[in-house]
Structure 1
Amino acid sequence: MLPGRAARLWKVGATVAEARPLSKHQRQHRIAALLGEVRVTSQGRLAELLAEEGIAVNPSTVSRDLEELGAVKVRIPGGESAYVIAELPRNQVAPADHLRRVLGEWVVAVANSGELVVLSTPPGCAHVVGSAVDRSGLDGILGTVAGDDTLLVIAAEDPGGSALAGSLAELAGLDVGWSRPGPAPGPVGFIAPTNER
């Protein structure tokens, strides 16, 4: 093990050398899945479950991930408390700042063709962005279809795909012309960052 780092890691059954490197989004995706599958009563227990899968995390990472996922502790039958990811009811509109935060954090490019708008995300994140868009209450959206790293947003004829792409790009902090820096440039019509993150 690496000196110093070992003391900061919550690890059970995995050494630092055995731990799988995961991106933040992959780790949060796994945490969300665990919270749906297993009764997780503490941050320490969550770290143990991750360690059993070879994912080493420290206390601040677990805390930050739970907060960013919107996880809350609720009382469950038997008197215990467990973490769950609170979802808005299907008919409740999410606050605008929630959509801005999700798009700003996870959308790396925006493009449109006719009434179709494509949002590109890191692997495993399109469903999160899709849920935020679905619950945003934005006018002009007929529906969304999420893959692994691509979200298709179908625009109504009024305002149309171009206007909707512009609105979503603005919320994501992107500008027309480029995608966020990354391994491969996007096709013509992609949207570029307006500020450094």
Structure 2
Amino acid sequence: MAHEHIVDEHILNIVQSCNIREQAELQDILQERGYQVPQATLSRLLKKLKIAKVSGIYKVTELNMPNLPTVLNIQVSELGLIIIHTHPGNANSLAYFIDQKYVTYNPRQPKNSGILGTIAGDDSILVIIKSKDSLSAVLDIFRHEFPYLSIP
């Protein structure tokens, strides 16, 4: 498919904003948006995007953002505040990735990353951590996610 990455984004958007119970429903919504996706292709894309049926509804089981925005640098204040800098317009998608992967919204499934949440501007993100004791674990997460950076 020529514009498969665009279809990927539509599939992720639909699954995250609607309760999709059958692949045919997803095909219908994609068709309304101008994309004809055969059932076999849709099944392959769902698997690639790590989307599976959970309690009868298709859900993203593991956030998979192969094209994460580039992080320019990460700064840490003496108070333990973490600021992530990226290119203009990229902070929201990067903050969304961090929140989805590392922030707990369901107390029954704690993620214990040490990250409570993020606040995104246009080109920077404030990462809010549980405590200063969490700082080194959170920085280790960012060292793993962004190995090309020199993180303090």
- Establish whether TM, by shorter chain, passes 0.5: yes
TM-score (normalizing by structure 1): 0.47
Aligned residues of 2:99 and 2:117 also touching (Cα < 8 A): yes
Matches within 5 A, 1:41-190: 41-42=22-23, 44-59=24-39, 61-67=41-47, 68-72=49-53, 74-75=55-56, 83-85=57-59, 102=64, 106=68, 108-109=70-71, 111-114=74-77, 115-118=81-84, 124=93, 126-135=95-104, 136-139=111-114, 141=115, 143-145=116-118, 147=120, 151-155=125-129, 156-160=131-135, 163-164=136-137, 166-177=139-150
1:31 aligns with 2:14: yes
Cα pair distance change 1:176/1:154, threshold 3 Å: same
C-alpha displacement of 1:169 = 2.5
TM-score (normalizing by structure 2): 0.57
- Count of residues in Structure 1 that have an aligned counterpart in Structure 2: 136
Counting aligned pairs with the same residue, the percent is: 13
Aligned residues of 1:71 and 1:85 also touching (Cα < 8 A): yes
Q: State the match for 1:10 in structure 2.
A: none
C-alpha displacement of 1:22 = 2.2
CA distance in 1, matches of 2:38, 2:50: 17
Deviations 1:137-196 (CA, angstroms, capped at 9, x unpaired): 124x3x212549865322332353xx356312233152324xxxxxxxxxxx7x9xxxxx
Q: Which has the larger radius of gyration?
A: 1
